[in-house]
Structure 1
Amino acid sequence: MVNKTWFQTGIALVLILIIILLFRQINDIFNPLVIVAKTVFLPLVLAGVLFYLTRPVVNWLEGKRLPRWASILSVFFLLVVTFWVLFSMIGPIVNEQGARLAKNTPQMVQVAEDAINYLMNQKERLPQFAIQSLEDAEGKVEDWAMAFGTWLINFLQGLLQTVFLTVLVPFFLFYMLKDREKFAPFLANFFSGHRRQWILRTLKDLDETLQSYIQGQLLVSFLVGTMLLIGYLIIGLDYSLILALIGMATNVIPFLGPYLAVTPALLVAWVQDPQMVIWVAIIMLIAQQIESNLISPNVMGKALDIHPLTVITLILAAGNIAGIWGVILAIPTYGILKTIVVNLYAERREIKDAATKDI
């Protein structure tokens, strides 16, 4: 029984739970480590994303017989120029649209309240479930606006902290690009024989999984944001650049991203011209259909091969556990775990087949 897979798996789970319980009992000892981990987490994630975006460029430059240090410095220079150009082009527009949006937010809140009051006056024409929803929402619009304002202030404070912390990003990125081939052998050296080969193969598969997801998801998000911007400019929607950037940012969240992106756009359209709500909905529908049927299948393919129901379940669960970071990291984390499990299963099948042949 000790050699059975289910028994070994059960023992491993019990040990993991015991370790977690012990950590919770003596968490004061690990508080400094937790603080350090939180401090470097975001810069490390950003550096990892930039690593997978810039590694192909570094490899291409090295293929042109450029030394590694020169290739890395060239990539850093390219990143600085790219960010400077983007900031110079869209910074003033975002600043101007953001100031107008902040100034007109009370008007939007008032319009939303008026819409709810109008619907409340039409109670007798509405089904019971709609009446109950309106009664729950009545009088809460202002509270929602205040909550959004508080969230925005916290977000801006966090953004300032992020800007301060991102000084670590170039440091992490430089060594990721410089020593990228050393990580896998370093870990594999703790093992020997067949297990060492399995570690190397698994790390290679993990690298390919992360590369496919990060490069594909960012490209898809950029294309979706571009389509939304073009559509919003065509219909003359106010704050088109900010709303398109919101759509680009939220698109990194599978399935839920489009709904998060269209909500502020619909509200702005309603305030500007109620008929424009229809055009915004049509633009979002067209963009998402193009993304889901043409762009994603060709850009990302079956990088993670996750069922849509699994994606929704993961996002909802991760959001409740870890908030926005849980929502963003749920899918790549699942992809990593899935890759490890698949490799473990393949390893056990190989061992079992080898044992059968020996018999």
Structure 2
Amino acid sequence: MFKKKGFRILVTFILIFTLIYLIFKTRFIFEPFTAYLGAIAVPIIGAGVIFYITNPVVNWLEKKKVPRIIGTFIAFLLIVLSITLAVLFIAPIVQKQFTNFVESVPGMVDNAEQLIEIWQDNQNIIPPQFESTIQNLVDKLSTYAEDITAGIIGVIGQIFSFIFAFILIPFFLFFMLKDGYKFVPFISQFLSPKKASSFRKLSTSINHTLASFIQGQFIVSVCVGVMLYIGYIIIGLDYSLSLALFAVLMNFIPFLGPFLSAIPAVIVGLFQEPLIGLWAAVVMFIAQQIESNFISPNVMGRALSLHPLTVITLILAAGGIAGFLGLLFIIPAYAVIKTIISHFYHEWKSKQTEEDPDLI
């Protein structure tokens, strides 16, 4: 009985769930570690994202016989130059557009109230329940507008609360660029030759997965933002730069990002002029088609190999559990976990005898 594979698999699952239960019951032991990880999560994640964007530059310079330390400083100079240009030329426009948008919110609410009142006046027969619902909506529009404005201000406050954590990002990034390649050899020296080889393969696979996602999404998002900005300018949409930058950020969310970024653009266009709202939807549709059919296949290819249904399921679950941050990080996290499981499965598979090759 103990030699049967099904029984061994059942025992393995029981032991795994027992271990999870024990960890849950003794989770207070891990609270100092979770607090420590929470404190350094922002600089590590932020530096890691910038690392995968700038590391190709450092590697290219190193191939051109430029010392890695000098290549790291050149990468930092490029980052500083990009930030400086953004502050000088982009930030003032975005700030002005955002201020104008906040000031125009009460006017948008008044227009919405007038539209609802006009619609009510032109209806001959309205069920009492539906009429009361519409009236409640009209009465609460001003409250909703205040809540939306307060929510925007709250988000800005949260952003500023992370500034202190962001200060540490350059320090983490510097050592990642300078010494990141030493990590795998450092760990490998403590392992046996066979395990060291397996660890190097796993590290290479994880590095490829993260680089494919981050670099690919960065290039794709910038391309989509530029296309939308040009399109918004052509149709005369207000707040075009701010809406295009919002689309760049949203496009880091696979599949749902383009649709989420279209909502504010269409709403702003409808309040500006109904035809412009329609054109904003057309511009977003064209940009999304170009991105999905030409840009993404050539930039990202099939590096992550994720089915669209899997992506949708993960995004819905992550959004409900962790909010916006969950939407941003669930796909790369899932891809890394998938890479790790696949690696160990193939390692396990290679050790099986030819007479007993299957898992179940």
Q: Which residue of 1 aligns with 2:102?
A: 102
Which moved further from structure 2: 156-165 or 307-316?
156-165
Q: Which residue of 1 aligns with 2:89?
A: 89
Aligned equivalents of 1:348, 1:133: Cα separation in 2: 61
CA change 1:293–1:138 in 2 (3 A) is: farther
Indicate conservation of the 8 Å contact 2:220/2:296, yes or no.
yes
Aligned equivalents of 2:228, 2:207: Cα separation in 1: 32
- Deviation sequence 1:20-49 (CA, Å, 0-9, x none): 3320xx2xx655544433332122111001
CA change 1:115–1:308 in 2 (3 A) is: farther
Structure 1 position 214, deviation (Å): 0.2
Indicate conservation of the 8 Å contact 1:108/1:267, yes or no.
no
Alignment equivalent of 1:17, drawn from 15, 21, 44: 21
* Residue pairs, 1:192-231, within 5 angstroms: 192-231=192-231
TM-score (norm 2): 0.89
Answer yes or no: is 1:162 the counterpart of 2:124: no
Gaps of 5+ in 2: none
* Residue pairs, 1:134-283, within 5 angstroms: 139-283=139-283
Aligned equivalents of 1:147, 1:119: Cα separation in 2: 25
Which moved further from structure 2: 195-204 or 272-281?
195-204
Letter of the 1:288 counterpart? Q
CA change 1:337–1:134 in 2 (3 A) is: farther
Structure 1 position 115, deviation (Å): 3.5
Letter of the 1:211 counterpart? A
Aligned equivalents of 2:76, 2:322: Cα separation in 1: 32
> In the comparison of the two structures, how many residue pairs are matched?
353
Q: Which residue of 1 aligns with 2:61?
A: 61
TM-score (norm 1): 0.89
Q: Which residue of 2 aligns with 1:50?
A: 50
Aligned equivalents of 1:8, 1:132: Cα separation in 2: 59
Gaps of 5+ in 1: none
Letter of the 1:314 counterpart? L
- Deviation sequence 1:218-260 (CA, Å, 0-9, x none): 1111111111100000011111000111111111111221222
Letter of the 2:237 counterpart? L
Q: Secondary structure of the residue that 2:185 maps to in structure 1?
A: helix
Structure 1 position 123, deviation (Å): 6.3
Indicate conservation of the 8 Å contact 2:213/2:332, yes or no.
yes
Structure 1 position 10, deviation (Å): 4.2
Give percent identity, aligned residues only.
41
CA change 1:67–1:243 in 2 (3 A) is: same
Q: Which residue of 1 aligns with 2:293?
A: 293
Indicate conservation of the 8 Å contact 2:109/2:141, yes or no.
yes
Indicate conservation of the 8 Å contact 1:123/1:131, yes or no.
no
